[in-house]
Structure 1
Amino acid sequence: MTTAASDVILVRMMALHPKIIDLTLDRVWRLLDALGNPQNDLPPVVHVAGTNGKGSTIAMMRAGFEGAGKRCHVYTSPHLVRFHERIRLAGDLIDESALSAVLDECETANGGAPITYFEITTVAAILAMARTPADVTLLEVGLGGRLDATNVIEKPAATVITPVSMDHEQYLGDTLGKIAGEKAGIIKRGVPCIVTRQHPEAEAVIEARAERLAAPLLVQGQHWHAAQERDRLVYQDERGLLDLPLPNLPGAHQIDNAGAALAVLRLMGLDDRAAEAALTCAEWPARMQRLAAGHWADRVPRAELWLDGGHNPAAGQALATHLSRLSERPTHLVCGMLNTKDARSFLRPLAPLARSLTAVAIPGERNTLPAEETARLAAETGHDARVADSVGAALDAIAKRDPEARVLICGSLYLAGHVLREDG
């Protein structure tokens, strides 16, 4: 297979800065200025930060805007299979020629100066979106918020903060308050901010930042409410009540994400048609995604196969809640994690729900936890843990022991990306 031009440029960009993550905006501002400050030419921006739920919330917002006939730019990260997934221009994934062109332009303008991979590719996304007509831009924070490369929009239409929990402590701080302070860095003076259900420590920090900047807050439980009632989602705010289908994205935690998406759509004046589309048309791979057909499903034809990329303590709890509400069926986990994550806290809530956990290393990832280490940590949290050389070997062993099992492949978006690439 021929290597795409964009892949060659992306490999070169990886060498422009020795650190993968180095939070500062100086390098981003320098490159944006060299390119004529394209961030000032974007369609109205909705900027989304948080520990969990950012991508799902954006997926539902996008479905809602498009259901109302609006054209959406979307920037998210990381990608699962191809880099192109990160950039959606007026509804469509960026094509190879457009991607290679903006990457090349950014590389030339940067002139070999130090800049991280995420920073220069974020600038490339902004450049591409600024040059393509659309009605709205949905922008996902990469890490934190205050010093994230996406935090260059002076006056977004709205900001969103999804649930804040412990993750990336080495970069964002070792308390919930410190992490919330980094997330709240996207709040801008006078710009409405939609906030989902938060721990009181995080909520207090967000509220203080908003008060300093006179930014109106729309807080779940105060200004808007979202809840499941029987098989429906009921949303209510000062404009009234909506009785809607449950989100297309599975999991109890998606109720709050859906509520945040609906709050944004209502804030921006969209009607009930957009609200229903947000819930029924959203798609977001590797978030409790059912693999019902393809390479892996064919390999374990009698099993019920799921894939999820959650990797932090809050994601482990959300997965456990969802699994507890599924029909009775023996559940087995196939798990691979990065060595930068709190594996024990992710795995602990899953232990009572899993008959076994098979640990694997994540192929091609230098920061993968060795399978033996994942298995050791899993055993310490109560799992019946074992090791396999690959996802395929793990599935084969599970199918041999328990052919009609429910199997959840989990622990990392990088593992999820590997699974999806192999699935074709």
Structure 2
Amino acid sequence: MTEELILANATLILPDEMVTGSLRISGETIAEVNTGAAVPSGAVDCEGDFLCPGLVELHTDNLERHIQPRPGVDWPHASAIIAHDAELASTGITTVFDAMRVGSIPSGARKYLKYARGLSQELWQLREQDALKISHFLHLRAEVCSETLIAELEEFDQDDRVGLVSIMDHTPGQRQFRDLSKLEAYMKGKYAMDDDTFMQHVAQLKTLRDRHGDAHEVETVKAARRFGAVLASHDDTTEDQVRVSAGHGIRLAEFPTTVEAAKACHTHGIKVMMGAPNVIRGGSHSGNVSARELAERDHLDIMSSDYVPSALLLSAVMLGQLWGDMPRGIRTVTQTPAQAVGLEDRGALQAGARADLLRFRLRSDVPALSAVWARGQRVA
């Protein structure tokens, strides 16, 4: 018998409005959306709490943080994946595109070894065992400034749930790290590099970019097409860089670093995604453009938790307050990211959609979650 659940007397955050109403969930889907404050017999009285769709996360480093909680520490992967999955569920994220780097540097001052193929296989094994609470896809972060990118991309195919491929270029002196002092502080703080080692690292990356960068970019575009994945740019800074992105068919820009780039993205029909910590902290930790400034200029579409999973819902609420439009703020973490990667079955409270939901109320303007459902099952 199909299980049913009615969540009543809630403030429903619909795509374009908020209404008092109820949801009837049948199995894994939303069967009905009704208005009114009535609480039928057997229904859960939400006491006016907000109900919104489960959050859709397109870019998070959280799994990498779990498998390597400290530099040089390789945590057991099954344990790390399960902990990562549970953590995201607890923050209201019900769909995640797990970011994994492809493109390694096995030699030099700062080595980056391959890991994505093996980690993704362990992730899918756990999924097949029904050990995961939420929906997982792959986000392959293709680092063009590397030695092994093409070979690593060839290890994946259409059966690997690769939903997103981003073209990454972390060559020092441009994009995210135009200011070398920011990169220096990061590398020395995280990896305890001395001056000589840092300069060797910078020189190696620039050499790799000159040697492989253009070919790697071309092959990344081809790989995304082969996977049937959405292609994204990363850290676009200038109009020229955005123009190149548009030429590749890119329709999603991760973390443009300037107003100029974000404006150009919208001119070319490219959605702009920014990091939730940027909104919450009031600025970029790398010294780049403020996400709030982009929001005020209407150049922001999608939010990502980036490196703090709990930041995703809070950033959406803060944007809703900034815009004076809570449904618009919530869309940046639900419907808009879902549509950007072609997931039409989630992201909005409507009949027939997946029953991915969260219930929360505001405490001193901060969202406090009380329940999360994925495919109709409570997961937090």
Greater strand share, structure number: 2
- More relative contact order, 1 or 2 (CA 8 Å, 6+ apart): 2
Instruction: State the TM-score, normalized to the length of structure 2.
Output: 0.32
Instruction: State the TM-score, normalized to the length of structure 1.
Output: 0.30
Greater helix share, structure number: 1
